[in-house]
Amino acid sequence: MKKNLILVINPGSTSTKIAVFKGEDCIYGDTLLHDSKEINRYETIYAQKEMRTSKILTWIKDKKLSLKDFCAIVGRGGLIRPLPGGTYKVTPSMIEDLKVGYQGQHASNLGGIIAYEIATDLNIHAFVVDPVSVDEMEDIARISGMPEIERKSLGHPLNIKAVTRYICDKLDKEFYNSSYVVVHLGGGISVVPVKCGKIIDVNNANEEGPFSPERVGGLPTGDVVRLAFSKKYTYKEFQKKIIGKGGLVGYIGTNDVRLIEKKIDEGDKKAELVLKAMAYQTGKEIGAMAAVLKGQVDAIILTGGISHSKRIVNWITNMVNFIAPIEVMPGEMEMLALAQGALRIINNKEKVKIYEEEVHLQNDQKF
């Protein structure tokens, strides 16, 4: 068993998911937990690198695996510059953008950094696959209505593209010659039209579209401005109302859909109305994205943790099944998706992308 294993690293805010794949088979998988007190000792995300790397290497040793058996290391892609989807070789320029958090600070920024550090010592390649900052939006979709603000492409591209590939195989469709509306139902809700393998529009789940367990989604702008200038909240407090204390948390006090469904089963009418409103807004957004595809939709795909809820899936289905058949893939397949991205390169099914050749700087100049 030499040089045929892939190590997959997916850092989260208080944990690091880790897996070892042989082909598409996961032979080991685990979640390394990080105590909040431990995390809070570090002033920046990047400062956590050594701690998380050490735990990963210890885990590998405990599994009695040899680092020499790995042919590639794959990390979750973070908030780097806008770029097309695909599998990218991690390069020094990408590392610099991950360090500073070019589009924001998030634990996923460490995925490529840790992968690169381990891979460099082993003289093998490090990759990231379909980072959060994948941007394939058409120019017309970028116009917001206010010249000072451009709509951004930020969502869940890794899982969205992975489940789309899976459904393509199931329906015997070509990934690059079919169209879908894909809905990621998680802490944020992303609704995207996928046309010929590209995510051509997206509601930035932090700012637009349906409200979700913790986020407000799109709001009436006039009321937002009045509330923001009411002097009731600091900037940070208002930000927290939008992301963290919005959505289901704001109305019901919890982001746990299972608890809310229990309340509904016990007769809580407010809980039912609010949860149904979230499904209603999601259905509306699906309709909008179907219009982007001019109604040429091979399937509507529901994925993410909340798609485990039959109640929510049924509410959404009843609104939109006139558009296209509904395919449900509960949960997420990010670890497998990361491994598959590396395998497509290793097996010469795709050409690896180079960050410096794909990203755009200000004035559309390249690195």
- pLDDT at residue 111, as a whole number: 96
- Strands 70-76 and 179-185, bridge-based pairing: unpaired
* Residue 101 DSSP class: T
Whole-number pLDDT of residue 347: 96
Q: What does the DSSP 8-state code read for residue 148?
A: T
pLDDT tens, residue by residue, 9-29: 999 888 899 999 999 999 999
Residue whose C-alpha is closest to residue 9's, from 118, 136, 82: 118
Task: Give the angle 226-154-137 at the CA atoms, nearest 5°.
Answer: 105
Q: Cβ atoms within 10 A of the Cβ of 261, count?
A: 18
Check for a shared fold between 5-133+334-364 and 155-330: yes
Nearest to 265 by CA among 332, 257, 291: 257
Contact 119, 73 (CB under 8 A): yes
Residues 166 and 183: their CA atoms lie apart, in Å, by 14
Q: Would you identify the CATH topology of the domain 5-133+334-364?
A: Nucleotidyltransferase; domain 5 (3.30.420)
**Looking at residue 38, what is its pLDDT?**
84
How high is the pLDDT of residue 139?
A: 96
Q: Which residue has the tokens 């840790």?
A: 114
Domain ranges of the chain: 5-133+334-364, 155-330
Q: What is the model's pLDDT at position 360?
A: 63
**pTM of the complete model:** 0.87
What is the C-alpha to C-alpha distance for residues 367 and 365, in angstroms, rounded to an integer?
7
Does domain 155-330 correspond to CATH entry 2.40.50.180? no
Written as tens digits, the pLDDT of the chain (367 aa) is 468 999 999 998 888 999 999 999 999 999 999 887 888 888 889 999 999 999 999 999 999 999 999 999 999 999 999 999 999 999 999 999 999 988 888 889 999 999 999 999 999 999 999 998 899 999 999 999 999 999 988 888 999 999 999 999 999 999 999 999 999 999 889 999 999 999 999 998 889 999 999 999 999 999 999 999 999 999 999 999 999 899 999 999 999 999 999 999 999 999 999 999 999 999 999 999 999 999 999 999 999 999 999 999 999 999 999 999 999 999 889 999 999 999 999 999 999 999 999 986 443 444 4
